[in-house]
């Protein structure tokens, strides 16, 4: 009998912990924002041949089109 009660308590704690983990992951996705490219990324693009103005404008428009918030 006590084994069943202990098992129920363990399952309840595990379920609650899983729920909190999912909530915190969703909160992280919602709060994720956009950041400008780093110096390393800019240098990498330049070395790849994407340093002209047309390529920069295309990249900027692509980055701006990405969602910034997680929609429910």
| CA 22/CA 58 separation, integer angstroms | 35
Rounded alpha-carbon distances, angstroms, from residue 49 to 20, 45, 59: 45, 6, 13
pLDDT score recorded for residue 37: 78
**How confident is the chain (72 residues) per 10-residue block, as mean pLDDT?**
91 95 86 76 85 82 73 62
pLDDT score recorded for residue 45: 84
pLDDT score recorded for residue 33: 66
| Every domain of the chain and the residues it spans | 1-31, 35-72
Rounded alpha-carbon distances, angstroms, from residue 63 to 20, 26, 45, 69, 71: 31, 22, 14, 14, 18
């Amino acid at each position: 009998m006590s084994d069943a009660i202990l098992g129920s308590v363990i399952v309840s704690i595990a379920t609650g912990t899983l729920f909190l983990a999912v909530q915190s992951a969703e909160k992280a996705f919602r709060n994720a924002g956009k950041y400008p490219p780093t110096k390393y990324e800019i240098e990498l693009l330049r070395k790849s041949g994407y340093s002209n103005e047309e390529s920069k404008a295309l990249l900027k428009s692509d980055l701006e089109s990405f969602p910034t918030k997680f929609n429910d």
